[in-house]
Amino acid sequence: MIANLPVFITLIFGLTTLATLTFFGWTIKNSNSVVVKAKSNRIIAGLIVWLALQAALTLKGIYNTEINSLPPKIFLFGLLPVIITIVFLFTTQMGKQFVDSLPLKNLTYISIVRVPVELVLFWLYLNNAVPELMTFEGRNYDIIAGITTPLVAYYGLTKMKLSGQVILVWNFVCLGLLLNIVVNAFLSTPSPMQKFAFEQPNIAILNFPFIWLPTFIVPIVLISHLTSIRRLLGFGQVDLNKKALSDH
């Protein structure tokens, strides 16, 4: 854990992680697939096990020791399993059936968690745990996605006052914002691949509980955007009415 870090930062981030799990569990339980609904509790339990595993690895110091190892341990034990899972979801028949069963409105609401995440990153910067470039005062504009999420979810997917094209563009923009901070965070983390922020590297994600950001919160948000984009482009079942898709 990060020494001398105010307790409220850890607490708020823990609650944000719990909110992400709750939002995704809510999304799964509202799946239009009877099979997915039946397995929802097991899926949620699996996610909890994954969170516990990542917590154990960081608390044992696995990620913040031997930082010059190649590949970095955080990639090997934290990110690679996530990448494999996402590839499975969008390339296999079983995976596509799963993501295509998830309601777009629920998926969209998940991005609300990006607001507290950005606040936590700013507080971590003030406490010398991440570089400024990872905050909204630097290169990170991801908070825009979080702030606009309720508007898009409510007016676009509840009231149907936004066209499918508008919602699609929003998803692409928010995906770009997410990838921007992911790249900057990765290249500022202590490792042989670090490219900048040497004066204040991104040490937070190598410690508990902030390891949950790259290994859980970001992947869930990424899946939500990829699923929404896939569906809005017509590659899966879309739960928007035709009028909403054809407007404007």
Q: Tens of pLDDT along 14-32?
A: 999 999 999 999 999 999 9
Q: Taking residues 193-217, report their average pLDDT.
A: 92
Residue 202 has pLDDT above 70, yes or no: yes
What tokens were used for 201?
């590297």
Domain region containing 66: 7-246
Report how many domains make up the chain.
1
CA 215 to chain centre: 8
- pLDDT confidence band for 240 (50 / 70 / 90): low
Does 1 fall in a domain?
A: no
Is residue 97 classed as helix, strand or coil in its secondary structure? helix
Helix pair angle (143-151, 114-126), 10° resolution: 160
pLDDT band at 244 (very low <50, low <70, confident <90, very high): very low
215-238 burial: b if 16+ Cβ within 10 Å, else e? bbbbbbbbbbbbbbbbbbeeebeb
On the question of pLDDT at 247 being above 70, the answer is no
Residue 2, in any domain of the structure: no
Instruction: Name the average pLDDT for the chain.
Output: 92
Q: What is the DSSP letter of 158?
A: T
Q: Please say if the pLDDT value at position 239 is more than 60.
A: no
Residue 142: pLDDT above 90?
Answer: yes
Q: In whole angstroms, how far apart are CA 9 and each of 66, 122, 134, 204, 242?
A: 26, 10, 16, 11, 44
**What is the rounded distance in angstroms from the CA atom of residue 78 to the CA atom of residue 17?**
16
Domain-located, residue 229: yes
Q: Please report which confidence band the pLDDT of residue 243 belongs to, taking 50, 70 and 90 as the band edges.
A: very low
Does position 242 have pLDDT exceeding 50, yes or no?
no
Residue 173 domain-assigned (yes or no)? yes
- Residues 74-86 pLDDT 10s: 999 999 999 999 9
Contact 110, 28 (CB under 8 A): no
Calpha distance 211→202 (Å, rounded): 11
Taking alpha carbons only, the member of 139, 163, 141 closest to residue 152 is 163
Reported as type and span, the H/E element at residue 120 is helix 114-126
Contact 170, 164 (CB under 8 A): no
Distance of CA 89 to the CA centre of its chain: 15
Q: In the structure encoding, which two tokens stand for residue 40, read together?
A: 């929802």
CA angle 55, 127, 138 (to 5 degrees): 100
Question: Is residue 245 over pLDDT 50?
Answer: no
- Residue 74 is predicted with a pLDDT of 92
Q: What is the mean pLDDT of residues 178-196?
A: 90
Number of residues that make up the chain: 248
Residue 67 contacts residue 210 (beta carbons within 8 Å): no
Tens-digit pLDDT profile for residues 21-78: 999 999 999 999 999 999 999 999 999 999 999 999 999 999 987 777 888 899 999 9
In a domain, 64, yes or no: yes
